[in-house]
């Protein structure tokens, strides 16, 4: 019917369809071109962060690290935001970016963790893919592993808008989750098991909470720098 209609009116069908496709296709998420106008997640000296004494430090180049497995948190709740940062792993690093945390004392079941890991280490490459870098830990693997080898800086952008979480790592959109589909605390939608310590279905979690970074977990350090934050429209 469309072909006949176009022939009668002598309209260029190709250009009409091209315009329709452009109107309905959203641009793929990627890293922002610049974060110069974004806010720092924490003050340069970390003085406005909630953190344990004597664990987190910042060096003269603005690099953050921790000596223990203790997280660092924003002092207030955040919702609908983008978080852009750089991180560097060591051999065996296992850390993470935590969003939507509603209980910093018991954050593991009460938040969403975007995994950071040294995927080149046997101890993590042998684990389920939901334990590897850029996965939503225990729930959704990244589409591919694009983390760099230990000692090299990586860039990650996390977009959180309501129950939608998207993760861009080193220029690639590798993880995209609609939390409303995770209605069980035992099984992921694909039938794989959720670790028992993640005891709350994601569909029931609040989408407003603290933002945190995990410290030195599993005996290997992690380094962060250029951690920027930008609110997104509701």
What 3-state DSSP class applies to 47?
coil
60 is a domain residue: yes
Provide the domain limits for residue 174.
27-231
DSSP class of residue 23 equals: H
Residues 167-194 have pLDDT tens digits of 999 999 999 999 999 999 999 999 999 9
Residue 14 lies in a domain: no
Is 17 part of a structural domain of the chain? no
Within-domain flag for 11: no
Strand partners, 156: 85, 169
Predicted TM-score (pTM) of the model is 0.87
CA separation, residue 55 to residues 6, 66, 68 (Å): 69, 5, 6
Please check whether residue 8 lies inside any domain of the structure. no
**Which CATH number does the domain housing residue 159 bear?**
2.60.120.560
pLDDT digits (tens, 9 = 90+) for 94-126: 999 999 999 999 999 999 999 999 999 999 999
Residue 104, helix vs strand vs coil: helix
- For the chain, the domain total comes to 1
Quick: pLDDT tens for 127-166: 999 999 999 999 999 999 999 999 999 999 999 999 999 9
């Amino acid at each position: 019917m469309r072909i006949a209609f176009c022939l009668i009116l002598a309209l260029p069908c190709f250009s009409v369809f091209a315009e329709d496709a452009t109107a309905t296709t959203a641009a793929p998420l990627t890293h922002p071109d610049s974060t110069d106008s974004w806010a720092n997640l924490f003050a340069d000296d970390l003085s406005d962060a909630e953190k344990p004494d004597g664990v987190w430090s910042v060096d003269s180049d603005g690099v953050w690290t921790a000596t223990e497995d203790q997280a660092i948190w924003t002092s207030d709740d955040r919702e609908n935001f983008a978080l852009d940062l750089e991180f560097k792993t060591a051999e065996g690093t296992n850390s993470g970016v935590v969003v939507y945390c509603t209980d910093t004392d018991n954050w593991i079941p009460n938040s969403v963790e975007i995994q950071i890991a040294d995927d080149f280490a046997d101890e993590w490459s042998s684990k389920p893919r939901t334990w590897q870098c850029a996965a939503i830990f225990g729930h959704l693997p990244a589409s591919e592993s694009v983390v760099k080898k230990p000692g090299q800086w990586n860039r990650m952008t996390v977009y959180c808008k309501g129950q939608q979480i998207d993760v861009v790592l080193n220029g690639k959109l590798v993880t995209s989750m609609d939390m409303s589909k995770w209605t069980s605390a035992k099984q992921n939608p694909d039938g794989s098991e959720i670790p028992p310590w993640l005891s709350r279905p994601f569909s029931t979690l609040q989408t407003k909470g603290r933002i945190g970074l995990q410290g030195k977990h599993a005996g290997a350090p992690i380094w962060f720098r250029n951690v920027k934050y930008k609110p997104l429209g509701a």
